[in-house]
Homo-oligomer: A and B are copies of this chain.
Amino acid sequence: MQKAILLVDGPLQAGIAAKLAQFVYANNGEIVDFDQYVDTEQTPRLYFARIEWALDGFAIEPQQIKAALERELGTQYQLHLNLKLVTRPAKIAIMVTKQLPCFYGMLTKILSNEWYAEASMVLSNRMDMEVDAKRFDLPYHYLPITPDTRVEQGNKAMAIWQEQDIDLVVLAKYMQIIPENVLASYSRKMINIHHSMLPAFVGAKPYHQAREYGVKFIGATAHYVSEELDEGPIITQNVKPISHKQTAKELVSVGKSIETETLLRAVQLHLEHRIIISGRRSIIFE
């Protein structure tokens, strides 16, 4: 089913919900989902909504909807209107280094048709996982990185993504720093998985630190990238209890499992357009 999803945010004003619903109904659209949230702790209070309706039979041509919305609602209500048209599977570029779980987790979701998406390509700074990409007949782009070539290879990656019309880049345990210009261009189209409950244990060996520190839980954080990698808006987090009995190696294994679960959830929320970023917070319409 082809559909439109409208993400709305702006200052709360009387009658916004009614106006939004009327826009869809007046144009013969059938609302499938209408979820709203008001943040009453900000001044002025902030209004957020996600409206999903079927494109079939809708009176306005898909390409004209955005303009019609702006005309009727945008100026008067000072709303930020973010329209998503779902008309084909999303195209995902997967960035990997050498860890398998996140990669296989994503492929499982796609092959099981749980996501309306395709894995369009795999990019890596190493050759290790070419064999894995080949199992699924996925194009594998080998882009080795040195400090001197980082920016050049980043631009090359962006060129490949643009040529293939990539909708989302997933850093599925990609162990390289992303150049600033790439982060800036893809800040809402690039999801990273971080191996800890941000903001704690931001270093490279969080599971060793967790064991050393004697913490009783470990976690993972999926987030949009921002110009400071590992500091972008959080989409999802998960934790699992651990005990003193687990070795650092076992914690790494538990950690990979949490990372995979967390990343998969974040990607799915993104693919279903259920996320609005407001400041550094994410509003999630589940």
Contact = CB atoms under 8 A, between A and B. Distances in A.
Interface stretch (A75-83, A117-125, A157-165, A208-216): A208-216
A31 B14 CA distance: 8
Contacts of A112: 99-101, 256
A286 B256 CA distance: 19
Contacts of A39: 244
Interface in A36-67: 36-41
A139 B175 CA distance: 34
Interface string A10-40: 0000110111011001000011111111111
**Identical subunits present:** 4
A109 to B, nearest CB: 8
A63 B177 CA distance: 53
Contacts of A116: none
Nearest to A114: B253
Contacts of A245: 37, 286
A114 B105 CA distance: 15
Given A37-B244, A200-B197, A234-B214, A14 B25 contact: yes
Contact of A136 (B111, B135, B247): B135
Contact of A281 (B15, B104, B214): B214
Interface stretch (A86-94, A148-156, A180-188, A235-243): A235-243
A71 B148 CA distance: 66
A18 B22 contact: yes
A39 B244 CA distance: 9
Nearest to A208: B41
* 7 closest Cβ pairs, A-B complex: A214-B281, A200-B200, A18-B18, A216-B237, A135-B135, A104-B108, A18-B21
Interface of A: 14-15, 17-19, 21-22, 25, 30-41, 99-101, 104-105, 107-108, 111-112, 114, 132, 135-136, 197-201, 211-217, 219, 233-234, 236-239, 243-245, 247-248, 253, 256-257, 261, 279-284, 286
16 contacts: A14-B25, A15-B25, A17-B18, A17-B31, A21-B21, A33-B38, A105-B108, A135-B135, A211-B281, A212-B281, A214-B279, A215-B237, A216-B234, A219-B239, A239-B239, A244-B284
